[in-house]
């Protein structure tokens, strides 16, 4: 039976010769992930069910990234609970303040996820690692608890959508614009519990950071996961990070897809998702004069080095507009250091930006950029729901680092072309 890329990975981990869409399977997992918000819930379930051991101390990652450095007493207590659990079970991949980064940037950087693996995480954007050709998906904290104890998880095998990417994106068009364009086309439930498989010669024109951003936001179309083929760029990325053997899977030529979407990347323009859904998209030429109060550049979607390089190129020798707050959040300590060495942080500070330690911060309304009533933010984050980043009357406009940086300079939503 012909299988998609995701189905082949699941079949291998379930010890089955083949699987089909809709089938319920129990599969072994290669990594179980949690953060400072979801891990405490998982720990409570783990202990409630009487577990007293973990399946593999090297295959669990706990990253304290959401409300850290601790924003309040409750956040501090949650982090403390995670520290005690990690210490008790000697979890190898425990990342606290000073070592941590935003989890979905940190795990690939550390070589903890790789092609052909199955990763579950108690965070919906765990689908990020599909950029490396892994099957990775978000689960609830109860599933995380079971995964930590047994090293297994139940899955319903997803059907798939194929996105055939052709041509090369134009300047200032990134993976963020492409995935916003796709979500705008198919809707927030357009890939409900399906695998989004990105293929075609256009993939080769996408950097790894582009691919991470696209796989990261597959969940915003309702997808179970997003996944890319493993090409030379992906292999080069993993070469000095992943020290274990990994497997590469390819979809069968006659694999079944519920839908096939043709995407000419050369026709996609810088795209912005208006409140209050990632599917409420407009291209920059369709946007009128919308003044803003804040810009956030960071997150598990767009806090990587390439994102900061794009923002720095636009902000160099320019100033953030009067009345606009611009906050830059490098996603990991390594990215922070590299950005510093390359002069990006110097550029940001001279432009009038605040530069933060790695954290999820304002993305889910935690800290480091919460909005007051009626305020508007252009953010490189992944969700713009009502009240997501502050007051319920505030508004989030999702955009690429290029659009966010240009908007910071002009004080309104704009693309870099407007600065030329």
- DSSP sequence for 71-129: -SHHHHHHHHHHHHHHHHTT-SEEE-TTT---HHHHHHHTT---TT-EEEESSGGGGGG
Instruction: Judge whether 351 and 315 are in contact, CB under 8 Å.
Output: yes
Between CA 300 and CA 105, with CA 96 as vertex, the angle to 5 degrees is 20
User: Is the pTM above the cut of 0.85?
Assistant: yes
CA atoms within 13 A on the CB side of 106: 27
Nearest to 347 by CA among 321, 311, 322: 311
Q: What does the pLDDT read at residue 338?
A: 97
Q: What is the pLDDT of residues 59-83, one digit of tens each?
A: 999 999 999 999 999 999 999 999 9
Instruction: Determine if residue 361 is left, alpha or beta; phi over 0 gives left, psi from -120 to 50 gives alpha, anything else beta.
Output: left
What whole-number distance in Å separates Cα of residue 105 and Cα of residue 132? 12
The residues facing 371 across adjacent strands are: 390
Written as six digits, the tokens of 2 are: 């012909």
Place of tokens 């055939």: 164
Q: What is the pLDDT of residues 81-109, one digit of tens each?
A: 999 999 999 999 999 999 999 999 999 99
Above 90 in pLDDT, residue 249?
yes
Above 90 in pLDDT, residue 264?
yes
The SS3 of residue 283 is strand
Q: What does the pLDDT read at residue 1?
A: 83
- Cα four-point dihedral sign 275, 276, 278, 281: negative
Q: What is the pLDDT of residues 145-194, one digit of tens each?
A: 999 999 999 999 999 999 999 999 999 999 999 999 999 999 999 999 99
Q: What does the pLDDT read at residue 366?
A: 86
What whole-number distance in Å separates Cα of residue 395 and Cα of residue 374? 7
Query: Domain 271-419 sits in which CATH superfamily?
Result: Aconitase, domain 3 (3.30.499.10)
Beta strands in 228-266 (DSSP E): 259-264
Written as six digits, the tokens of 320 are: 């953030």
Above 90 in pLDDT, residue 419?
no
Nearest to 346 by CA among 358, 334, 357, 355: 355
Q: Spell out the residues 6+ positions from residue 336 whose beta carbon is closer than 8 angstroms to its own.
A: 330, 345, 357, 358
Instruction: Judge whether 93 and 62 are in contact, CB under 8 Å.
Output: yes
Instruction: Judge whether 91 and 112 are in contact, CB under 8 Å.
Output: no
Above 90 in pLDDT, residue 365?
no
Above 90 in pLDDT, residue 334?
yes
Above 90 in pLDDT, residue 343?
yes
What whole-number distance in Å separates Cα of residue 173 and Cα of residue 265? 9
The SS3 of residue 34 is strand
Q: Which helix (H) or strand (E) covers residue 396, if one does? A: strand 395-398
Q: What is the pLDDT of residues 4-15, one digit of tens each?
A: 999 999 999 999
Q: What does the pLDDT read at residue 364?
A: 87
Above 90 in pLDDT, residue 282?
yes
Q: What is the mean pLDDT of residues 20-40?
A: 97
Q: Spell out the residues 6+ positions from residue 27 whose beta carbon is closer than 8 angstroms to its own.
A: 10, 13, 14, 118, 152, 153, 155
Beta strands in 240-280 (DSSP E): 259-264, 271-273
Any alpha helices (H) in 166-298, and if so which ranges? 175-186, 208-216, 232-239
CB atoms within 10 A of CB 84: 11
Q: What is the mean pLDDT of residues 121-148?
A: 97
**Per-chain mean pLDDT for the chain:** 96
Q: What does the pLDDT read at residue 9?
A: 98
Q: Which CATH number fits domain 5-264: 1.20.1600.10, 3.40.1620.10, 2.60.120.620, 3.30.499.10?
A: 3.30.499.10
The residues facing 159 across adjacent strands are: 194
Ordered by start, the domain boundaries in the chain are 5-264, 271-419
CA 375 to chain centre: 25
Place of tokens 């519990």: 193
What whole-number distance in Å separates Cα of residue 245 and Cα of residue 257? 30
Q: What is the mean pLDDT of residues 406-420?
A: 93
Instruction: Judge whether 6 and 160 are in contact, CB under 8 Å.
Output: yes
* Matching fold, domains 5-264 and 271-419: yes
- Burial annotation 165-198 (CB, 10 A radius, 16+ → b, else e): beeebeebbbbbbbbbbbbbebebebbeebbbbb
């Amino acid at each position: 039976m012909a299988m998609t890329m995701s189905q082949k990975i699941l079949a291998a981990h379930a010890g089955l010769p083949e699987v089909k869409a809709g089938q319920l399977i129990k599969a072994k997992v290669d990594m179980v992930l949690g953060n400072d918000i979801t891990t405490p819930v998982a720990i409570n379930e783990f202990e409630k069910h009487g577990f007293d051991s973990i399946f593999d101390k090297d295959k669990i990652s706990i990253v304290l990234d959401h409300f850290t450095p601790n924003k309040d007493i409750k956040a501090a207590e949650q982090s403390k609970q995670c520290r005690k659990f990690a210490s008790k079970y000697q979890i190898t991949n425990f990342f606290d303040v000073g070592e941590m980064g935003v989890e979905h940037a940190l795990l690939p950087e550390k070589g903890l996820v790789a092609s052909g693996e199955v990763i579950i995480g108690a965070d919906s954007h765990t689908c990020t690692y599909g950029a490396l050709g892994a099957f990775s998906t978000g689960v609830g904290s109860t599933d995380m608890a079971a995964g930590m104890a047994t090293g297994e998880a139940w899955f319903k095998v997803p059907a798939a959508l194929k996105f055939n990417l052709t041509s090369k994106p134009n300047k200032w068009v990134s993976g963020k614009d492409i995935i916003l364009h796709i979500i705008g086309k198919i809707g927030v439930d357009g890939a409900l519990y399906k695998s989004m498989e990105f293929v075609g010669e256009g993939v080769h024109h996408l950097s790894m950071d582009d691919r991470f951003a696209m796989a990261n936001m597959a969940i915003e179309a309702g997808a179970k996961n997003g996944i890319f083929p493993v090409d030379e760029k992906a292999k080069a990325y993993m070469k000095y990070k992943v020290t274990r053997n990994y497997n590469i899977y390819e979809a069968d030529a006659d694999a079944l897809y519920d839908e096939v979407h043709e995407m000419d990347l050369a026709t996609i323009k810088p795209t912005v998702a208006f409140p209050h859904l990632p599917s409420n998209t407009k291209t920059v030429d369709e946007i009128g004069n919308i003044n803003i109060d804040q810009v956030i550049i960071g997150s598990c979607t767009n806090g990587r080095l390439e994102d900061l390089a794009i923002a720095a190129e636009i902000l160099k020798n320019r100033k953030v507009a009067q009345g606009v707050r611009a906050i830059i959040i490098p996603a990991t300590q390594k990215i922070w250091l590299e950005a510093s060495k390359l002069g990006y942080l110097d550029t940001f500070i001279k432009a009038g930006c605040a530069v933060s330690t790695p954290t999820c911060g304002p993305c889910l309304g935690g800290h480091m950029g919460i909005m007051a009533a009626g305020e508007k933010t252009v953010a490189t984050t992944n969700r713009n729901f009502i009240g997501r980043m502050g007051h319920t009357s505030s508004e989030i406009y999702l955009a690429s680092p290029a659009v966010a940086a240009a908007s910071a300079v002009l004080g309104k939503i704009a693309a870099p072309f407007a600065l030329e």
